Amino acid sequence: MDYTNGKIRQIACLSLVGTAALSLGACQEKKEETKPMNILYIMCDDHSYQTISAYDTRYINTPNIDRIAADGVRFTNSFVANSISGPSRACMLTGKHSLANGFTDNSSEFDGSQQTFPKLLQAQGYETAVIGKWHLTSEPTGFNHWDILIGQGDYYNPTFICNGEKVQRKGYATNVTTELALDWLENGRDANKPFCLLLHHKAPHRTWMPDTCDLELFSDSNFPLPETFYDSYEGREAALAQHMSISKDMDLVYDLKLADKENEIHSRPDLEAAGRRIYSRMDSAQKAAWDAHYDRVIAEFKKKNPKGKDLDAWKFQQYMRDYLRVINSVDRNIGQVLDYLEAEGLMDNTLIVYTSDQGFYMGEHGWFDKRFMYEESFRTPLLMRLPGGVKGDITQLVQNIDYAPTILEAAGVEVPEDIHGCSLLPLLKGKEWSANRKALYYHYYEFPDEHTVRPHLGVRTERYKLIRIVPTEFQGKQLQGSWELFDLQEDPNELNNIYGKEGTEQLADSLKSLLKELQVQYGEEKFIEM
């Protein structure tokens, strides 16, 4: 991407406890007579907060993502309502929890006729667009322009659906998505209207395929195993039953790119076939660069032939290197978008949001993926830059249901009272936040696909977390429910389930009462005491 004279050359509101009936409209400040704010909402898929240097400097430097934090705010207690891609996106679009918006798991179909913040913006004269990953099964509604990947999308030479028409585009998905977004900003929108652009990258979703120019990054890096890598899951039977283990479930061919030409390395048949099929999407130049890197990795793997814990450690290192290479591409592309906004004089009137659809495990508890209500997948990065807003850290408990009302209020559009979330705009302006949220509600529904994570729900305060594993039928057997309770101050790694321990009875009862309040507030009464 090149610039000349600024042009592109290439193409809940949870109220105070016990006052759940507080009108959500009270969360919105009085409208100010200002020029309409442009909105740039950037979201990646499965980007862990641990791999953004604004949050954590152990693994990678992300200078361009950090620019948003440096010029704006970093939310240090940002969470999702349902840690899985499609449902999280539905929560973001509607400002409502999963049961209310109807998209509870990835087998659902998003009801595009319902109220979403892009529709409300569009009705007030905004030019709206979504470019990149959609993953909501139905076609986008409420957008003047949409250009989306099919399903999860492919890293190399991906196929998009552009306003209803399929088109395959040559290149690497992160680069292509960025080019499409910049082209829309430059050539595709009505420049006389305010815009709202949802820029959704596929990366760094599984299988973490790097751009060819990033293949050698981190090749000499060795990352320490997380202290919980060999978690025994004692006292947490539901955690023991999941299928997200790097050791047992991360596939050598599909995930770790060991599709050898000699066809000697084999893994789970369906994943192996998919892993070898991915390679076929590349053109000859891409394959040559890919082979130059991974043929060497494969040869070294065969020579070492690691077993047991040595194999676990090898898989972790390979996973981390590929994941971080993909993040490097994301950061580079975000830099191009920020450079464009600066060159065009748009920074002074554009709210910029950077987030992920959920968090991700970087080996903690021995896992990859997300889903479980433990911190690494429940917590998500959230950076915002509001022109004229405050800078620094925001520590209040916030959730992805808050994005819709925040964007609406920033645009001067009334926030409907049926939205569950609460606008964060007062926090961005350094003002008092009337929500004064004391706890967050979480509900994960999907079972058994894809990783047999049990359906569960829970509540998190600043210090404590209570999780209810929902009774579930599986393969003709009734799986019993259970409870998990963690003191996050004393046990930040969530290893010690203190539910049922002497002296915790009053704490557990108070959290159960709070859980019930939230279930009533969010219309999930049928799940009470499950």
Q: What is the pLDDT of residue 6?
A: 35
Cis amide bond preceding 204, omega within 30: yes
Would you state the torsion angle of the CA atoms of residues 109, 110, 111, 116, taken in this order, to the nearest 10 degrees? 180
Where do the domains of the chain lie?
36-207+320-438, 441-527
Whole-angstrom distance, CA of residue 21 vs CA of residue 244: 39
The alpha carbon dihedral of 231, 236, 241, 242 has a sign of negative
Residue 285 CB coordination number (10 Å): 9
Specify the CATH architecture of the domain 36-207+320-438.
3-Layer(aba) Sandwich (3.40)
Task: Phi first, then psi: give them for residue 178, nearest 5 degrees.
Answer: -65, -45
Which pairs count as long-range contacts for 62-68, CB under 8 Å and 24+ apart, including other chains? Answer: 62/327, 62/331, 63/331, 63/335, 64/331, 64/332, 64/334, 64/335, 64/338, 65/330, 65/331, 65/334, 65/354, 65/383, 67/335, 67/338, 68/338, 68/352, 68/354, 68/383, 68/384, 68/385
Residues lower than pLDDT 50 in the chain: 1-32
Amino acid at 511: L
- Yes or no: say if 13 and 415 are a contact pair by the CB < 8 Å rule: no
- Yes or no: say if 246 and 363 are a contact pair by the CB < 8 Å rule: yes
- Yes or no: say if 83 and 372 are a contact pair by the CB < 8 Å rule: yes
**What is the spatial order of strands in the sheet that 482-487 belongs to?**
440-444, 456-460, 464-469, 482-487
CATH topology of 36-207+320-438 equal to that of 441-527?
no
* CATH fold for the domain made of 441-527: Arylsulfatase, C-terminal domain (3.30.1120)
Q: Which segments within 177-234 are labelled E, that is strand?
A: 195-200
Give, to the nearest 10 degrees, the angle between helix 403-410 and helix 85-94: 40
Tokens, residue 150: 């099919």
List the Cα angle 136/456/355 in 5-degree steps.
45
Which pairs count as long-range contacts for 310-313, CB under 8 Å and 24+ apart, including other chains? Answer: 311/247, 312/229, 312/246, 312/247, 313/225
Tokens, residue 38: 């442009």
Residue 277 CB coordination number (10 Å): 11
Whole-angstrom distance, CA of residue 336 vs CA of residue 7: 12
Whole-angstrom distance, CA of residue 54 vs CA of residue 384: 12
Buried b or exposed e, range 107-122, using 16+ CB within 10 angstroms: ebebeeebbbbbbbbb
Name the residue among 414, 508, 410 with its Cα closest to residue 464. 508
Whole-angstrom distance, CA of residue 493 vs CA of residue 362: 13
Q: What is the pLDDT of residue 484?
A: 98
Provide the 3-class DSSP secondary structure of residue 272. helix
Give the strand pairing for 195-200 and 127-132: parallel
Buried b or exposed e, range 13-41, using 16+ CB within 10 angstroms: bbbebeeeebebeebbeeeeeeebbbbbb
Tokens, residue 257: 């790119």
Q: What is the DSSP string of 300-367?
A: HHHHH---HHHHHHHHHHHHHHHHHHHHHHHHHHHHHHHHHHHHTT-GGGEEEEEEESS---SSGGGB
